[in-house]
Amino acid sequence: MLYTKSGKEVSKIGIGTWTIKKENIDDEVKSLQFYFNQGVNYIDVVLAYDNGAVLDVVAKFLKSVKREDIFLNVFITHGCAKIADVEEQIKVYLNKLGVDYFDCITLHSPAVLGFDFKEYVKEIKRLHTKYKFLNIGYSNLSPAQFEQVKDHISFFEGLYNLENKINDDNGIIDYCIQNNIPFYAYQPLRRNRTAKQNYNKVVSLADKYSKTQNQILINWMIKHKNIGTLIKASKQEHIKENVEALNFEMTEKDYKLLDNFRNKEFDKIPFSYCNEEGKIRIDQIPNQPIGIL
């Protein structure tokens, strides 16, 4: 279980920030405040988004809430050619966000590092004692990399949605659940593309419970799979719809229909956890041109 510094349980829906644009700063900050006022107290920030300008939007939002009431997770991202760049990124986050601690620092992916993953692990443990951050997180690890860090990990962010179940297949989600390591899914709605496929099973569950398809998906992941979901949503009607997805229960049999769902087209994609030639990197799998886009 994760907590904010003020002791509040961290919401199972987290705020994603990919495609948030500084040019719309006032509207984006209003959306973040609306999200927060709906009880969502976790935000994910990646320096690479909007060429770093996303930090200005998040900084303005953070000034409008009590810092200790929000769980702030910053990501070590592209641009780490050498080990010293990790600390440099931490300094950029501290300065640009105007904060004096992080709730979590997460490695976006070993693919963003220009040096050995083992070196990163050593470095983040050193920085953990130097800087005030409370949790060490990882994302997009292979099972072998996961094995190397599972003794000190306290957060994992991974690909998960109805069609992309690699982190189920490789056992990482099960391990996290059994060991109380919060697992948060990115692209849980596959940027609304899952709903656009109008899969019979999802459409009939939406009809049965009088909910939208996205509400069925969020409800299944949080209430049944016991994982968190990171959802980027700027439109208030989306935010409301997503938060209201937690106000109902489905039957065990219906949840199992979603557990057992597979899309063979996605399952056939040759993938890698890093940059292996001829394979699609794990974080790019949900963006492959399959079905209705």
Ligand X SMILES: NC(=O)c1ccc[n+]([C@@H]2O[C@H](COP(=O)([O-])OP(=O)(O)OC[C@H]3O[C@@H](n4cnc5c(N)ncnc54)[C@H](OP(=O)(O)O)[C@@H]3O)[C@@H](O)[C@H]2O)c1
* Binding positions for ligand X, 36-95, rule CB under 6 A: 44
* Binding positions for ligand X, 95-114, rule CB under 6 A: 108-109
Closer to ligand X at the Cβ: 99 or 217?
217
CB of 212 to ligand X, least distance (A): 6
Binding to ligand X by residue 183, rule CB under 6 A? no
Give the DSSP letter of residue 108.
-
Residue from the set 191, 223, 224, 279 that interacts with ligand X by CB under 6 A: 191
From CA 203, how far away is CA 207, in angstroms rounded?
6
Q: For residue 26, which amino acid is it?
A: D
Closer to ligand X at the Cβ: 6 or 114?
114
Closer to ligand X at the Cβ: 6 or 248?
248
Binding to ligand X by residue 16, rule CB under 6 A? yes
CA distances from 149 to 29, 116, 172 (A): 35, 14, 12
User: Among 39, 99, 40, which residue's Cα sits nearest to residue 74?
Assistant: 99
* Dihedral sign (CA 195, 197, 198, 202): negative
From CA 234, how far away is CA 99, in angstroms rounded?
23
β-bridge partners, 157 = 139, 184
Closer to ligand X at the Cβ: 45 or 250?
45
Give the DSSP letter of residue 80.
B
User: Which residues make Cβ contacts (< 8 Å) with residue 181, sequence separation at least 6?
Assistant: 150, 153, 154, 155, 156, 175
Closer to ligand X at the Cβ: 243 or 250?
243
Q: Which residue's Cβ has the minimum distance to ligand X?
A: 16
From CA 107, how far away is CA 124, in angstroms rounded?
9
CB of 14 to ligand X, least distance (A): 8
Residue from the set 47, 74, 166, 233 that interacts with ligand X by CB under 6 A: 233
* Binding positions for ligand X, 119-178, rule CB under 6 A: 139-140, 157
CB of 245 to ligand X, least distance (A): 8
Residues that bind ligand X (CB under 6 A): 16-18, 44, 108-109, 139-140, 157, 186-192, 214, 230-235, 238, 241-242, 283
